[in-house]
Amino acid sequence: MSNRFDGKVVLITGAGSGLGQASALQVAKEGAKLSLVDLNAASLEETKRQVLEVAPNAEVLLITANVADEQAVQNYVNETVEKFGKIDGFFNNAGIEGKQNLTEDFGIEEFQKVVGVNLNGVFYGMKHVLKVMREQGFGSIVNTASVGGIRGVGNQSGYAASKHGVVGLTRNSGIEYGQYGISIKAIAPGAIMTPMVEGSLKQMDPVNWEEVGKQFVQPNPMKRFGKPEEVGYLVAFLLSDQANFINATVIPIDGGQSYKY
Ligand code: NAD
């Protein structure tokens, strides 16, 4: 068992489900102390239960917070530093899909809601965590973008705009902070089978969503959904010291779909 995260503190948003939960499990297995943030307190408790199953000695701080609220973001960063004294890795991951619709019907409120969580939330997280990391002189940030942050998807104006924004923030801030020993990268997952994707398929067909899912993955070169733990392996590597020279860039994890004509 690798122990790349012995003595390290990893902060994760959206840690109650899907990619955040899988990444929490992976870094905990490798020795990390965890500060886990989510809107949903019950799901955080479930992640903690799973973490303690794979890493019984892990120290785990749970913080219920809305990443779209800057004060709440400042608080989760402060609480993490008060408890653990530093932040080595930050998986800036919480996000929502929003209701699928044509651009003209997307709705201003829906657009603002999706951008508020996916883009503002990521910016607030970077703003407060980067201050801590610059003072420390080290740190690694992984922002969750999406294939929808590097390609058009359709029916997802808010999602696509916010995720393209996350890629832009990553490139901009990576260039600013490399000189302080801090690396910042984004991941661009394709369709990974999490509760979010299940919800997305159910928007397309509430009854036959599993069949829709089978059709959905046919254009993928690997003809399947990704698994949350596959993203967990990538995030753990990107947050580790081994990936320090990977900076200001976006890494797809999508079975090759975003490079297919
Ligand atoms: P998920 O719905 O399983 O998990 C997201 C978690 O974020 C949930 O626990 C939810 O409670 C939390 N969350 C939502 N809004 C929040 C808020 N305002 N404040 C705090 N927590 C909040 O989804 P997932 O698939 O694990 O997605 C995680 C991230 O990965 C998202 O940013 C998503 O856009 C991105 N992503 C997912 C996929 C995929 O196929 N699953 C693909 C590309 C990108």
pLDDT, tens digit, 9 for 90 and up, residues 207-244: 999 999 999 999 999 999 999 999 999 999 999 999 99
How are strands ordered across the β-sheet holding 33-38? 60-64, 33-38, 9-13, 89-92, 139-144, 182-189, 249-253
Residue 171 pLDDT greater than 80, yes or no: yes
- The structure's pTM equals 0.98
Read off the CATH number of the domain in which 158 is found. 3.40.50.720
Domain limits at 82? 9-190+226-253
How far is CA 6 from each of CA 11, 28, 121, 164, 237, rounded to the nearest angstrom? 14, 9, 28, 34, 14
Domain assignment present for 124: yes
Tell me, what's the pLDDT at 1?
A: 56
What is the per-residue pLDDT across 77-87, written as a single tens digit (0 to 9) for each? 999 999 999 99
Instruction: Give the position, in ligand 1's atom list, of the atom nearest the Cα of 190.
Output: 42
Tell me what the mean pLDDT of segment 244-258 comes to.
97
Residue 144 pLDDT greater than 70, yes or no: yes
Tell me, what's the pLDDT at 191?
A: 96
Domain assignment present for 55: yes
Average predicted confidence (pLDDT) for the chain: 97
Give every CB contact of residue 184 below 8 A, 6+ residues apart in sequence: 126, 140, 141, 143, 170, 173, 174, 177, 247, 248
Q: Which of 96, 114, 159 to mutate to test the pocket of ligand 1 (most atoms within 8 A of CB)?
A: 96
Tell me what the mean pLDDT of segment 91-102 comes to.
97
What is the per-residue pLDDT across 43-72, written as a single tens digit (0 to 9) for each? 999 999 999 999 999 999 999 999 999 999
Taking the centre of ligand 1 as the mean of its atom positions, its distance from the CA of residue 88, in whole angstroms, is 22
Domain assignment present for 24: yes
Asked if the interface predicted TM-score (ipTM) of this complex is over 0.85, the answer is yes
CB 189 within 8 A of CB 196: no
d(C-alpha 235, C-alpha 185), whole Å:
10
Domain assignment present for 258: no
Tell me, what's the pLDDT at 90?
A: 99
Residue nearest to atom 12 of ligand 1 (CA): 14
d(C-alpha 14, C-alpha 165), whole Å:
18
Q: What percent of the chain has pLDDT over 70?
A: 100
Domain assignment present for 80: yes
Domain assignment present for 27: yes
Taking the centre of ligand 1 as the mean of its atom positions, its distance from the CA of residue 18, in whole angstroms, is 7
Domain assignment present for 44: yes
- The total of structural domains in the chain comes to 1
Tell me what the mean pLDDT of segment 27-36 comes to.
98
d(C-alpha 13, C-alpha 73), whole Å:
10
Domain assignment present for 247: yes
Give the three-state DSSP class for 208. coil
Tell me, what's the pLDDT at 2?
A: 77
Instruction: Give the position, in ligand 1's atom list, of the atom nearest the Cα of 15.
Output: 9
Choose, from 159, 177, 180, 259, the residue flagged as catalytic. 159
Residue 142 pLDDT greater than 90, yes or no: yes
